[in-house]
Amino acid sequence: MSQRSSSSTSSETDGAGSGHRFPRIIGRYSKGLPGPHVLVSGGVHGNEPGGLFAVQRVLEALDARQLPFRGSLTGLAANRAGLAAGVRYLARDLNRNWEVAALLDLLRRDPERDLPEEREQRELLHLYAPLLADARAPLIFVDLHTTSGDGAPFACMGDVLRNRAIAFSFGIPVVLGLDEVVDGSMTGFLCDLGHIGVGVEGGQHGSPRTIRTLEATIWLALVTAGCVAEVDVPDLIDLRRHLAEATRGLPPVIEIRHRHVVRPGDDFVMHPGFTNFQPVHARQVVAHDRKGDIRAREDSLMMLPRYQSQGEDGFFLAREVSPLWLAVSAGLRRSRADRLVRWLPGVERDEARHDHMFVEADRPRAVDVFHLFGYRHQRAAGERFVFTRRRPDATGIDDLPPAIRALLRAAQRAPA
């Protein structure tokens, strides 16, 4: 069984700035067999329609070939208003404010007062709520993006073990910590409910290669999830070769070390020529704003330099992660050694919230230790730091905290 919808706009190769009108549900594909539900979203930023063109291609290929399929695939457009206008957002970034408290506040308000992105968020919650409430196995969310600057593609994920199989199946660099340093992301919210959430940055806006890259990651996600067999995927060898060529010579895993936040009135300007994974040196000038030059804090890799007018992320700095570190972290987590973190010197657990750890500020090595166990969100709390992590496990609504259950039920009751 398949259902597909088409955008009512111009060709795939149109760049950012051209409007594209998409239905909320791009299409669905299922043969009625048991299996995982894979949801592929695109256009959470309205100037990034490439992911939606990619999922359209996959749905069309599945429909034309009537491939054997276990589970279901749903493609959905996130920021439809932004997509129609061809801009990143109209009022605020749709990939923010997905914290439970903010969502409950949204659902309590009169929908007539919604800003454009709040309207989109409300509609997405109505779509997600029954799926999340009824889930007895992790749903698989793949969120597709493109970038204003040129550069190689990469995957990003919340640092929980259940995300690794999908993220590493693409054969492109995986970025750890990006989902944690950006507060209130959509995939972060879904991952905290115990589901699988992986983001893909496919390349530069408007490039046909970018659409091909994103199409390849969708197919590989479906193979890894067990929805389709490798032998049934058209051109799978060519798709893998395309991804390998796009990322040749790049580290397989990196972690975010610094995020430069852009605030209104900063007059932020990124210096030209930077691309993803480009090495930069400590004290190198990479941008400027009204206060003067902005320099790299350490020898690192440039990520997501902002070459567009909208957005609060100026750039990120990252460093390579050893594959051995990944293996050690997986072993420690599977053995439940994370239960010992609270007993480390200078560490105190919040007894009301067991995944919140207070650490004395004079213990710099604690950062690396906490990263081993997925504690990547860090904020200051007086003379200490608080480390938190994505929820490591959950199976269905009955295992969710009361606030989450209330949110999902409110989303199902509230007017769309």
Domain edges within the chain:
2-246, 257-320
Domain 257-320 has CATH 2.40.128: no
CATH class of 2-246: alpha beta
Question: Which residue type is seen at 269?
Answer: V
Q: State how far the Cα of 372 lies from the Cα of 154, in Å rounded to an integer.
A: 21
DSSP three-state, residue 114 = coil
Q: Which two tokens stand for residue 367?
A: 């950062």
Check residue 376 and give its pLDDT: 74
Check residue 343 and give its pLDDT: 80
Listed in order, strand segments (DSSP E) in 190-335 are 196-204, 253-261, 269-270, 278-280, 285-289, 292-295, 300-303, 313-320
Check residue 6 and give its pLDDT: 44
Q: State how far the Cα of 396 lies from the Cα of 139, in Å rounded to an integer.
A: 10
Q: Which residue, chain included where needed, has tokens 């919230």?
A: 353
**Residues 163, 168, 170, 174, CA torsion sign:** positive
DSSP three-state, residue 75 = strand
Question: Which residue type is seen at 356?
Answer: H
Q: State how far the Cα of 137 lies from the Cα of 98, in Å rounded to an integer.
A: 22
Q: State how far the Cα of 357 lies from the Cα of 333, in Å rounded to an integer.
A: 16
Distance of CA 15 to the CA centre of its chain: 22
Listed in order, strand segments (DSSP E) in 65-121 are 72-77
Q: Which two tokens stand for residue 49?
A: 């329609």
Asked whether the beta carbons of 176 and 255 are under 8 A apart, the reply is yes
Buried residues in 81-106 as b, exposed as e (16+ CB within 10 A): bbbbbbbbbbeebbbbbbebebbeeb
Q: Is 351 exposed, middle or buried (0-12, 13-18, 19+ CB in 10 A)?
A: exposed
CA distances from 397 to 105, 145, 186, 187, 401 (A): 20, 29, 18, 17, 8
Long-range CB contacts (within 8 A, 24+) of 245-249: 246/152, 246/153, 246/172, 246/203, 246/209, 246/213, 247/152, 247/153, 247/154, 247/171, 247/172, 247/173
DSSP three-state, residue 271 = coil
Question: Which residue type is seen at 226?
Answer: G
Check residue 130 and give its pLDDT: 87
Asked whether the beta carbons of 287 and 235 are under 8 A apart, the reply is no
pTM given for the model: 0.86
DSSP per-residue codes, 341-401: GGGSTTEEE-SSSTT-EEEETT-TTHHHHHHHTT--EEEEETTEEEEE-------SGGGS-
Q: State how far the Cα of 142 lies from the Cα of 165, in Å rounded to an integer.
A: 13
Q: Which two tokens stand for residue 168?
A: 């590493």
Asked whether the beta carbons of 82 and 117 are under 8 A apart, the reply is yes
Q: Is 112 exposed, middle or buried (0-12, 13-18, 19+ CB in 10 A)?
A: exposed
- Regions of the chain with pLDDT less than 70: 1-18, 362-365, 393-401, 403, 414-416
pLDDT (tens digit per residue) in 262-318: 999 999 999 999 999 999 999 999 999 999 999 999 999 999 999 988 888 999 999
Work out the number of other CB atoms within 10 angstroms of the CB of residue 414. Answer: 16
pLDDT (tens digit per residue) in 216-275: 999 999 999 999 999 999 899 999 999 999 999 999 999 998 999 999 999 999 999 999
Q: State how far the Cα of 134 lies from the Cα of 136, in Å rounded to an integer.
A: 6
8-state DSSP, 126: H
